[in-house]
Amino acid sequence: MAALIDRFTKAKRIVIKIGSALLVNEKTGMLRRDWLTALAEDIQELRSNGQEVLIVSSGSIAIGRRILGLKKGRLKLEESQAAAATGQIHLAHAYQEILGDHDLKIAQILLTLGDTEERRKYLNARSTLSTLLNLGVIPVINENDTVATSEIRYGDNDRLGARVAQMMGADCLILLSDIDGLYTADPSKDPNAEFIAKIPELTEKIMAMGGGVQTAFGSGGMITKLQAAEIAVSAGCNMLITSGKVNNPLSKIKTGESRFSCFLAKDTPRNARKKWIAGSLGSQGALIIDSGAEKALQKGKSLLPAGVSAIQGEFERGDLVTLINSQGKELGHGLTAYSSKDAELIIGQKSSEIVSILGYAGRDEMIHRDELALK
Ligand code: GLU
């Protein structure tokens, strides 16, 4: 148990996913301010331990439908979009007020599926979130439900939470839910259902346990939690499911008062990411780099435009490119922050010149060190 608790207490970067059923009173549709206040205490403690926190919060539709007086039951797409637009502003305000009272700064980020799935957009979302974390801010993330249609949406924040964890190289994802973990069967229907504390492998047997457990309120269920676990553990991120029905659910994990199911990651997020980049097929082009840049890369630095002497192929921002040294040796791969068209103009130049050459302020690095996988 203690070793499992360590997966949370020793994590450097934690994503906390909060389900609608916890945040919003199911009967009244009102935000549960006392619960959020208690959670803010937990988050304050994590921050004072030097842990970085990102929140993925549901609740906009549940709050918005109450404000708009929409009927119970399934909403039409336009109705849920209107409810999300109305509810999200209230949700953000509540976070700002309640976390603000605990000296925590928050920022709202609304993501669409494309923002995490398409590399170009993904680099933008990732860099904004990194900047916020560096500034000590807690991003509060939700799906941008007002523009998401069923074909292009996550629909559940379990998988969105896992994608955020993957994108940000988090080492722990906590799903605060109305169920305290994974069971061999639905515990509300089957008295013989057994709780599973540790999931080292996502076997077919485990994946089959997702069938049917559904909450009345949120969009997820155990199935989306298991899908989230697949994303998280393959990205080197441990995933915990615990009950958020109690106050201070995070400190209760620490003290052992609350049980949880832990899906174990086998790798670190950094290694998992490097493997993903290294294993990505289809390099779109190549950057030839000079010996100074080669040395800098070996020391774990980013690749700056100044260290690139030539470009091969045509590529877009976010594409995978091969790095080649001046003797023609392949050094590895990385995701480029510039298209080949723009890269042609800035190679060999100082990063401070980028804005005057391209007419926009791009990234200082051609390839950020987090986006590099050397051989
Ligand atoms: N994005 C939805 C909302 O904020 C919730 C999705 C979910 O329930 O997981 O209302």
Q: Which two tokens stand for residue 309?
A: 């002497």
Tens of pLDDT along 224-248? 999 999 999 999 999 999 999 999 9
d(CA 192, CA 184): 9
d(CA 68, CA 338): 44
Q: Where along the chain do its domains lie?
A: 2-273, 281-374
Ligand 1 center from residue 84 Cα (angstroms): 9
pLDDT at 335 over 60: yes
d(CA 65, CA 154): 20
Q: What is the CA radius of gyration of the chain?
A: 22
Q: Write the residue with the smallest CA distance to atom 2 of ligand 1.
A: 58
Task: Indicate the helix (H) or strand (E) that contains 111.
Answer: strand 106-111
Question: DSSP state, 71?
Answer: P
Tens of pLDDT along 127-167? 899 999 999 999 999 999 888 776 667 778 999 999 999 99
Of 232, 201, 235, 213, the residue nearest 370 (C-alpha):
235
Query: Which residues does ligand 1 sit against, CB inside 6 Å?
Result: 20, 58-62, 84, 142-143, 145, 156-157, 218-220
> What CATH number labels 281-374?
2.30.130.10
How many CA atoms lie less than 13 Å away from 45 in the CB half-sphere?
A: 15
d(CA 72, CA 89): 21
pLDDT at 310: 96
Contact between 266 and 201 (Cβ < 8 Å):
no
CATH architecture classification, 2-273: 3-Layer(aba) Sandwich (3.40)
Q: Write the residue with the smallest CA distance to atom 6 of ligand 1.
A: 156
Task: Indicate the helix (H) or strand (E) that contains 160.
Answer: helix 157-167
Distances (CA, A) of 220 to 61, 88, 179, 245: 14, 18, 12, 16
pLDDT at 152: 66
pLDDT at 324 over 50: yes
Q: pLDDT-derived band of residue 213, with 50, 70 and 90 as boundaries?
A: very low
Ligand 1 center from residue 80 Cα (angstroms): 10
pLDDT at 218: 47
pLDDT at 220: 55
Q: Which of 30-39, 105-114, 133-142, 212-221 has the lowest mean pLDDT?
A: 212-221
Ligand 1 center from residue 232 Cα (angstroms): 19
Same CATH fold, 281-374 and 2-273? Answer: no
pLDDT at 99: 98
